[in-house]
Amino acid sequence: MNKLLKALRTGWEFFVLFHHGTFVDKNMAVVRKEAFDINDNLMLLLFGDYLGIPNPMSYYMLELLPYVADDLEPWERRMQNRKFIIAEKAAQYDFD
Amino acid sequence: MRHFTFFGGKGGTGKTSCAASYALSLAARGVRTLVVSTDPAHSLADAFDKPIGFQTAPLCPNLWGLEIDAEVEAKKYMKSIQDKMLDLVSAAIVDEIKRQIEIAYMSPGAEEAAIFDKFIELMEAVGRDYDAIVFDTAPTGHTLRLLTLPEILGAWIEHLIEKRRKAMDLMKMAARYDKPLAERIANDPIIQTLTARREKFALARKYLTDPEASIFYFVLNPEKLPILETARAVELLSRHGIAVGGVVVNKVIPADAGPFLEKKRLSQEGYLREIRGRFSSMTIIELPMLDDDIQGMVQLQRISAMMEGLDS
């Protein structure tokens, strides 16, 4: 009996993860992408001066540096590589 | 007496002397007073003829002096950021970030922001260490920017928080099946830091726009340009909700000055009439032109009795 319960539970977990991976996560990827995009735009407002866009308040933004330091370099690369805005948008809606 | 008294005006009109002697008159009345210079080109120490630096220096009973040094404040600020960074990220990244900090330090506006930070810090100290703070500000343009900063930055930071919150909400939605991640998102340090910053600006704004807490006095000479500049500045400040209490007319030639200054005195009389007309709703104090420089305690005490008129 116990064995059966265990097997059922494992099966259910598999099912949940399968369902999540097949239907939910795919959709959530769009949401996540959107969140990352907003965040990248926010970074542009915070640290635009690193890309040559003057930011009058860059002094106050320094205190945020410790929290975004890890992402700073990849972000700079992403921003400098933004050549195909349309392709980027299309990818977001599965047109790639 | 208000908690915060500002003396502003065109360069060379005698702001420092007025601020110093007013602070002296407050101290003489038993009010624990701090007199602060926010002008990057300090002259407070010259007025008192005593050394004052970026650390509070006692000047006489109940009176302390301070000259804000933007460079020292900025260095302190950067040091605190670097220390925090060492706790959070790897050493390799810290080196890279140090370069970025240097850039921001050199950027325009950094000095202003550093002074403003110290300014807020001092405002928080009132009631605890001091009863009143007298600010000897920089010439008009610089000061107006400094005082209107919290309003502008407040709106801007609000926008940043909004954006970050939106991103965080979306991420939370996506992280529904990842409990630890969702928790980390809920306690986002970026939102917390921005909010703390916003609160500071809001506090400064609250103090500055409360006529019971702070008041602004303009120092001017009976000449054409200072009058025009003061009129413009008064209008701008009232548009930003900062109360202007009065004007101090400095260097008024006394009637018994002699024939050499007579012509100048007559033209001053015309300008004095204009001042009385333009600023009729405010307190107007006239200080005579003295035959000597105003320097040192004794000289300052001579005019500090006249400055008491600002509180009546």
Q: Judge residue B23's burial from the number of C-beta atoms within 10 Å of its C-beta, 0-12 exposed, 13-18 middle, 19 or more buried.
A: buried
B8 plus B29 within the same structural domain: yes
Q: How far is A19 from chain B (nearest CA, A)?
A: 12
CATH number at residue B305: 3.40.50.300
Q: How far is B74 from chain A (nearest CA, A)?
A: 9
- B224-237 pLDDT, tens digit per residue, is 998 999 999 898 88
- A15-59 pLDDT, tens digit per residue, is 988 887 777 777 777 888 888 888 888 888 888 877 888 777 788
Q: Is residue B129 part of a domain?
A: yes
pLDDT band for position B312 (cuts 50, 70, 90) = low
Beta bridge partners of B91: none
Q: Is residue B190 part of a domain?
A: no
Q: Is residue B175 part of a domain?
A: no
Q: Is residue B187 part of a domain?
A: no
B275 plus B300 within the same structural domain: yes
Going by the DSSP 8-state scheme, the letter that residue A23 receives in this structure is I
B170, B176, B187: best to mutate for the A interface, most A CBs within 10 A? B170
Least confident of B120-124, B147-151, B197-201: B147-151
pLDDT score of A96: 57
pLDDT score of A92: 66
Q: CB under 8 Å to B193, separation ≥6 — which residues?
A: A63, A64, A67
Q: Is residue B180 part of a domain?
A: no
pLDDT score of B270: 92
Tokens linked to B19: 């601020």
Q: Is residue B176 part of a domain?
A: no
Percentage of the residues of chain B whose pLDDT score is greater than 90: 22
Q: What integer is the mean pLDDT of B53-61?
A: 89
pLDDT band for position B187 (cuts 50, 70, 90) = confident
3-state secondary structure of B221: coil
Mean pLDDT estimate for chain A: 82
Q: How many CB atoms are located within 10 Å of the residue A50 CB?
A: 19
Q: B76: domain range?
A: 72-106
Spell out which residues of chain B touch residue A38, defining contact as CB-CB under 8 Å.
163, 166-167, 170
pLDDT score of A9: 93
3-state secondary structure of B136: strand
Q: CB under 8 Å to B286, separation ≥6 — which residues?
A: B249, B252, B272
Q: Which amino acid would we find at residue A89?
A: K
For residue B36, the surrounding DSSP H or E stretch is strand B33-37
Instruction: Assign residue B58 a region (left: φ > 0; alpha: ψ between -120 and 50; beta: otherwise).
Output: beta
Using CA coordinates, name the residue in chain B closest to A58.
B104
Tokens linked to A36: 């990352």
Spell out which residues of chain A touch residue B92, defining contact as CB-CB under 8 Å.
none
Interface pTM, i.e. ipTM: 0.73
B65 plus B30 within the same structural domain: yes
B48 plus B83 within the same structural domain: no
B218 plus B300 within the same structural domain: yes
pLDDT band for position A95 (cuts 50, 70, 90) = low
B59 plus B80 within the same structural domain: no
B21 plus B93 within the same structural domain: no
B83 plus B121 within the same structural domain: no
3-state secondary structure of B51: coil
3-state secondary structure of B236: helix
SS3 content of chain B, % helix, strand, coil (to 5): 60, 15, 25
B44 plus B102 within the same structural domain: no
Tokens linked to B32: 């624990």
Q: How many CB atoms are located within 10 Å of the residue B78 CB?
A: 20
pLDDT score of B100: 73
- B260-277 pLDDT, tens digit per residue, is 888 889 999 999 999 999
Highest mean pLDDT among A8-12, A33-37, B198-202, B283-287: A8-12
Going by the DSSP 8-state scheme, the letter that residue B108 receives in this structure is T
Distance separating alpha carbons of residues B9 and B233, to the nearest angstrom: 8
pLDDT score of B102: 77
3-state secondary structure of A4: helix
Domain end residue (candidates: B57, B89, B106):
B106
Q: Among residues B285, B250, B230, which one has the least CA distance to residue B17? A: B250
Q: How far is B99 from chain A (nearest CA, A)?
A: 11
Q: What integer is the mean pLDDT of B171-183?
A: 76
Q: Is residue B253 part of a domain?
A: yes
Higher pLDDT, B132 or B306: B132
pLDDT score of B201: 86
Using CA coordinates, name the residue in chain A closest to B105.
A59
B197 touches chain A (CB under 8 A): yes
Domains held by chain B: number:
2
B221 plus B96 within the same structural domain: no
Q: Is residue B200 part of a domain?
A: no
Distance separating alpha carbons of residues A64 and B185, to the nearest angstrom: 16
pLDDT score of A82: 73
Q: Give the closest of B105, B109, B167 to A57, CB-based.
A: B109
Least confident of A72-81, B97-106, B181-190, B206-215: B97-106
